[in-house]
Amino acid sequence: MAGTTVPAMSRPKQFENHRWMGDKRNQRVYDLDNITDPEAVADVLQAETFICFGPDTLVEARNRCYKPAPGVVEDEL
């Protein structure tokens, strides 16, 4: 259908006030404002292996040895 747009995925309820969500299983971090793989985020939430960071920055996630998930744009550095 021409001209159809897909609405952006909103942040999960547990992360309303957080941009960065980590997956404890593989130490990947996801940008919840720019989700490129909604299935991966849903999998983390279903497995309940998520973590948030304080301060809520990619730099802090990296300090905890988390690596950006595929598709994460590292514009915050």
* Residue 43, in any domain of the structure: yes
The whole-number pLDDT of residue 8 equals 57
Domain of 52? 17-30+37-68
Does residue 31 register a pLDDT over 90? yes
- How confident is the model over 1-20, as pLDDT tens digits? 455 444 556 788 888 899 99
* Residue 24, in any domain of the structure: yes
**How many distinct structural domains can be found in the chain?**
1
* Residue 46, in any domain of the structure: yes
The whole-number pLDDT of residue 4 equals 46
* Residue 6, in any domain of the structure: no
Q: What is the pTM of this model?
A: 0.81
How many H helices and E strands in the chain? 2, 4
* Residue 77, in any domain of the structure: no
CA-to-CA dists, residue 45 to 38, 49, 59, angstroms: 11, 7, 22
* Residue 56, in any domain of the structure: yes
